[in-house]
Amino acid sequence: MENPFVCGKVVRGKCFADRKAEIEELTSDIASSQSVILFSPRRYGKTSLILEVLDRVRAQGVLTLYLDLFKVTSQETFITAYAKEIAGLHGGGIRTVLKKVRDLLPRLIPKVVVKGQKADIEFEFDRPADKTPLLDDLFEAVATVSSQQGKRAAVVFDEFQEIAGWDVGGEVERQMRTHFQLHGNVSYIFMGSKRHLMQDIFRNKNRPFYRFGKHFPLGKIPEDEFADFIRKRFEETGFQIDSEAINEILRTTEDHPYYTQLLCHILWDRRREKNVVVKEDIPEAVSEVFLREAHAFCDLWDMLPRKARQLLVALAKEEGPQGQIFSNDFLRKHNLGPASSIQRAVAGLLKEEVLEKVDDKYQYTDIFFKRWLKKTFV
Ligand SMILES: Nc1ncnc2c1ncn2[C@@H]1O[C@H](COP(=O)(O)OP(=O)(O)OP(=O)(O)O)[C@@H](O)[C@H]1O
Ligand SMILES: [Mg+2]
């Protein structure tokens, strides 16, 4: 029997713990063509949630387009990737689709690529030099299809903060805003995991997307929903698990979606002969979580400058979030040297999302990284 707990990949259908309230809110945003800026720390379930929402609204007749900007490394790859998704909005045979995309994107050359049994459409550039009219076509296309078909549309840009890496002069961002703000039938959804980069795009008065849409910080999965999910998944696969064990799992992972699935995955594997999970099984499974993640934690650690490491060790020694990390007391207690060098380290750690600042206090974004540091260095 297959392990019912999936970690690291996008989760769909049965593997997805209902985020009922979030699904409802996003579905209603799309129904009213509200644009949304959705962000959360890494591996909270943004992509899984939005793909679930898109499945549902598509079933209600909404046109949907999803583009992951992690895969995009330049303006050219952005244009061809977005054009390909636009081609995907059309049903019908390949010839019909070709005709439709030629009308919508006359400055791009579509070509049919056959992979195995499947024919797919990709794009080449006509005149590589001037891309501005091409961007105009591109950013009008979804709204045009939406009004031609009399349907609402939802367009998702996942990992939108990545745009900063290649849209150096900000041309694409400006063009997007110019077009998107006029589209009454389209909900644009921008997602990202780097809070400071997302905030800079959407909260900085000098950026084109200033105040473009509603901000939607995605939290962890509500504990009662997650507990039901865990129980169901164990029981469906013939396991027994009591509430005490489920509560202990969620207490250990602090309801973090990815770590909860990982811990359950390991527990399921370790107990598959006996088909029973009890609270006492958890500590050893947690050690295995550390073993599996050690590689990623070591890589991150290697990347960090010395001052940042010292500060992280100091924070790992303390219980809970810390407010006074620049105070003389804190600096002296942990032998951290002058406040100015710690300020630089903090700025770097916030930028890399290793730390986050909540209610004026600094804390680790990844509680398992904190625990790993504590085990390894404290
Ligand atoms: N609704 C959910 N139900 C159950 N598990 C979930 C849910 N959402 C996320 N997870 C767990 O978290 C993992 C990461 O989910 P996902 O890739 O959707 O998150 P993300 O926020 O998009 O991550 P990233 O920041 O890496 O892009 C999944 O593989 C799964 O283990
Ligand atoms: Mg994602």
Give the domain ranges of the chain. Answer: 18-217, 223-295, 306-377
- What integer pLDDT is reported at residue 24 of this predicted model? 97
The model carries a pTM of 0.92
Q: What is the tens place of the pLDDT at every residue in 136-155?
A: 999 999 999 999 999 999 99
Q: Within its chain, how far is the Cα of 183 from the centroid?
A: 25
**CA 48–ligand 2 middle distance (angstroms):** 7
**CA 297–ligand 2 middle distance (angstroms):** 19
Question: Is the Cβ–Cβ distance between 223 and 250 less than 8 Å?
Answer: yes
| Ligand 1 cavity residues, CB under 6 Å | 6-11, 16-17, 19, 40, 42-48, 193, 221, 257-258, 261
Query: Can you tell me the distance from the alpha carbon of 277 to that of 118, in angstroms, rounded to the nearest whole number?
Result: 45
Query: Can you tell me the distance from the alpha carbon of 280 to that of 132, in angstroms, rounded to the nearest whole number?
Result: 62
Straight-line distance from the first to the last Cα atom of the chain, in angstroms, rounded to the nearest whole number:
41
**CATH number for the segment(s) 223-295:** 1.10.8
Where would I find the beta strands (DSSP E) of the chain?
A: 36-39, 63-68, 108-115, 118-125, 153-158, 186-192, 214-217, 240-241, 276-277, 355-358, 361-364
Which one, of 233, 322, 231, 295, lies nearest residue 3 by Cα?
Answer: 233
- What integer pLDDT is reported at residue 171 of this predicted model? 92
Mean pLDDT in residue range 201-208: 90
Q: What is the tens place of the pLDDT at every residue in 254-267?
A: 999 999 999 999 99
Mean pLDDT in residue range 342-371: 92
Query: Can you tell me the distance from the alpha carbon of 156 to that of 38, in angstroms, rounded to the nearest whole number?
Result: 10
**CA 45–ligand 2 middle distance (angstroms):** 7
Alpha helices in 10-152 (DSSP H): 20-31, 46-59, 75-87, 94-104, 132-149
Q: Binning pLDDT at 50, 70 and 90, where does residue 37 land?
A: very high
**Which atom of ligand 1 is the closest one to the Cα of 6?**
31
Q: What is the tens place of the pLDDT at every residue in 299-335?
A: 999 999 999 999 999 999 998 888 889 999 999 999 9
Looking at domain 18-217, its CATH superfamily turns out to be P-loop containing nucleotide triphosphate hydrolases (3.40.50.300)
Residue nearest to ligand 1 atom 23, measured at CA: 43
Check whether domain 306-377 has CATH 3.20.20.80, yes or no: no
- What integer pLDDT is reported at residue 129 of this predicted model? 63
**Which atom of ligand 1 is the closest one to the Cα of 44?**
21
Mean pLDDT in residue range 32-48: 95
**Which atom of ligand 1 is the closest one to the Cα of 8?**
29
Query: Can you tell me the distance from the alpha carbon of 151 to that of 98, in angstroms, rounded to the nearest whole number?
Result: 21
Query: Can you tell me the distance from the alpha carbon of 176 to that of 136, in angstroms, rounded to the nearest whole number?
Result: 8
